[in-house]
Amino acid sequence: MAGRETEERGFLSGPRTTERPRSTSTAVYTALFDAPSDRVFSFCTSRSGFEESMPSGVEVLRWPGRGFAQGEVMVLRWRLAGVLPVRWVGVIESFEDGVRFTDLQLRGLFRYFRHTHSVEPKGAATAYTDRVEFASRLGPAVDRTVLRPVMDRMFLARLARMRELLEGGA
């Protein structure tokens, strides 16, 4: 996890991004995909699956060198509202092959951002869940009233895109 990008902190995230604040918000998004769980998990941990399911403008600057494994780092860049450049650095905090992985923001938009991706077989289908625990430096009221609706739109659009890609034969 060595490297400059894991040590420097952004203005928006501030210091100590791996310490869970007393107050966080949690968002859970679940979708049932008509695809086997191993395919869904492989899609989520592949660079192509990641890039194809993200909004346009998100650029991968560093992909986990050994693939998804505990301690590996990912670096992304995009423009918030098309203007403000954002550099997001995350570390794979935990990884259970074929079941779940959690990334923890080291630098980015949030004071704290922990995202768990999990798959669960449901017959021939798969229940996929994103569980996001977050806190901004703007406080819980802004997290609930401003950031949560933005995250809802973003994650639901991502799940819809994942559905197209996984069920459309891509």
Cβ proximity of 131 and 158 under 8 Å: no
pTM above 0.75, yes or no: yes
Assess if residue 138 is contained within a domain.
yes
Contact 77, 91 (CB under 8 A): no
Q: Would residue 104 count as lying in a domain?
A: yes
Question: Is the model's pLDDT at 56 over the cut of 90?
Answer: no
Q: Does 46 fall in a domain?
A: yes
The tens digit of pLDDT for each residue in 9-47 reads 555 566 667 778 888 999 999 999 999 999 999 999 999
Q: Report the domain count for the chain.
A: 1
